[in-house]
């Protein structure tokens, strides 16, 4: 399966689908999911210090024998590690865990109050030193992005946020688009909690696609990078098979009506 890429504002390319790795910690399960993903064309893997699986990812990509530049590896600085010393030492540990001397995309995991400003400047330094090709943020609202603009030497290449047909965040997507910030949609399947909506079911039937594929394609249509997580081989294959069809105007209008601001993960909305 060939996967399209999006060019980030810093010139680096990001594959439009990555395998989400949150909650995949068990060694054999991780290895099976990684192999299934690699075999069907995933080269982008979304990890985080918090997920406890950087080491497994390091072993897995090394084990393929493929070149480092064939992979796109993301990790995120845990909220525990935002103080400068911790940030730098934890980042060095992430490089070791991932068996690499650079990260493709390094994110601040959450807009931690008081600490996020200095943490961003430290990320810029890491990027300048060549140890992260691209840097970005996660869970930033428009307010957090506007604040960042007041002190950043450069705006993030990426904002990774919860996004799916039941949490559409159109203003945030528009704001990011206007500032050339690529949006990554996490929990694109609403964490698997909303797989019975009749509107999605009927659009899936119309296109002879699965329910999950319609949810994922809705994000692809908006140039969002998708990060579906699965440990099930058939679903890993199903989730990448979303680049051979399109949703039409009617589908998009019907899906637009499903927005209900449903958050399945942590919310940054009230973070000062």
Contact residues toward ligand NAP (CB under 6 A) are 20-22, 46, 109, 138-139, 160, 186-192, 195, 212, 227-232, 235, 238-239, 265
Give the nearer residue to ligand NAP in terms of CB position, either 117 or 263: 263
Instruction: Name the CA radius of gyration of the chain, rounded.
Output: 18
Give the nearer residue to ligand NAP in terms of CB position, either 129 or 213: 213
* Residue 174 Cβ vs ligand NAP, minimum distance, rounded to whole Å: 20
Catalytic residues: 51
Contacts of 22 (CB under 8 A, 6+ apart): 46, 48, 51, 229
Give the nearer residue to ligand NAP in terms of CB position, either 128 or 192: 192
DSSP for residue 181:
P
DSSP H helical ranges for the chain: 27-40, 54-64, 84-97, 116-128, 142-149, 170-178, 198-207, 211-220, 233-240, 249-256
CA atoms within 13 A on the CB side of 112: 18
DSSP for residue 152:
-
* Residue 249 Cβ vs ligand NAP, minimum distance, rounded to whole Å: 25
Contacts of 178 (CB under 8 A, 6+ apart): none
Q: Using H for helix, E for strand and C for coil, what is the string for 65-85?
A: CCCHHHCEEEEEECHHHCCHH
């Amino acid at each position: 399966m060939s996967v399209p890429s999006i060019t980030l504002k810093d010139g680096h390319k990001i594959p439009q689908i990555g395998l989400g790795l949150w909650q995949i910690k068990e060694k054999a399960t991780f290895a099976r999911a990684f192999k299934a993903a690699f075999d069907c064309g995933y080269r982008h893997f979304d990890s985080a210090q918090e997920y406890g699986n950087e080491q497994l990812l390091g072993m897995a990509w090394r084990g393929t024998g493929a070149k480092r530049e064939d992979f796109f590896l993301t990790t995120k600085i845990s909220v525990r590690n935002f103080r400068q010393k911790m940030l730098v030492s934890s980042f060095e540990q992430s490089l070791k865990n991932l068996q690499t001397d650079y990260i493709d995309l390094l994110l601040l995991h959450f807009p931690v109050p008081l600490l996020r400003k200095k943490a961003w400047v430290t990320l810029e330094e890491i990027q300048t030193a060549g140890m992260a090709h691209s840097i970005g943020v996660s869970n930033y609202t428009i307010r957090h992005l506007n604040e960042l603009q007041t002190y950043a030497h450069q705006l993030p290449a990426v904002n990774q946020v919860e996004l799916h047909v039941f949490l559409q965040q159109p203003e945030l997507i528009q704001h990011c688009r206007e500032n050339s910030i690529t949006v990554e949609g996490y929990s694109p399947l609403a964490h698997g909690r909303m797989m019975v909506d009749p509107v999605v079911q009927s659009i899936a039937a119309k296109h002879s696609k699965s329910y999950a594929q319609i949810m994922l394609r809705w994000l692809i249509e908006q140039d969002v990078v998708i990060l579906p997580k699965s440990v099930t081989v058939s679903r890993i294959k199903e989730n990448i098979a979303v680049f051979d069809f399109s949703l039409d105007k009617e589908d998009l209008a019907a899906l637009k009506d499903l927005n209900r601001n449903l958050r399945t993960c942590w919310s940054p909305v009230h973070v000062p």
